[in-house]
Amino acid sequence: MINSEDNCQEFKLEGNIPKATGLIGFLVLDRTGLLYFSKVARNQLIIGKNIFQIAGFISAILIYSQDLIGSEDSGIKLEDIDLGNHHLYVCTKGKVIFAYLIEKNKTTENLKRNIQLVIEKFVDMYYPSQIMNFKGDISPFHCFDKIICQYFDF
């Protein structure tokens, strides 16, 4: 169903999936650090203000970690970084990097499950049409905000 106000597709949740808490930032980027999509909790002003630098940092650390701990083919890869009260998780799907920052003491049990569902939705919605044929326009990814808000309290 197309929403006439903003041309975003409206997706309904399958079943009754409760929203997860504890997610304070979610980024989707390519391997060069180009940010396709980001969502940051309102109370995380420093992260929101520096989101493009953070995307570049994530891309760079993944590239350098491959040199240090092995290529993707070796099965060894960077998956998470402990940041005290926060944890940064990173996963790749094809040409896309997904990074999410959680607040350790405020997460619900369904956080990781909802993250996986959101990643799968992003890949299903955008990988064949937008990512594989990317021409520099990130506007189609803005609609993903509605989907991520269905799964998480920000």
- Convert the pLDDT of each residue in 28-70 to its tens digit: 999 888 999 999 998 888 888 889 999 998 998 888 877 776 6
In a domain, 6, yes or no: no
**Structural domain range at position 77:** 23-151
28 has which bridge partners?
37, 98
Q: Check if the beta carbon of residue 27 is closer than 8 Å to that of residue 51.
A: yes
In a domain, 107, yes or no: yes
- pLDDT digit string, tens, across residues 94-118: 889 999 999 988 888 999 999 999 9
CATH of the domain at 76: 3.30.450.70
Q: How many domains does the chain have?
A: 1
In a domain, 139, yes or no: yes
In a domain, 11, yes or no: no
* Cα 63 to Cα 132: distance, rounded to the nearest angstrom: 20
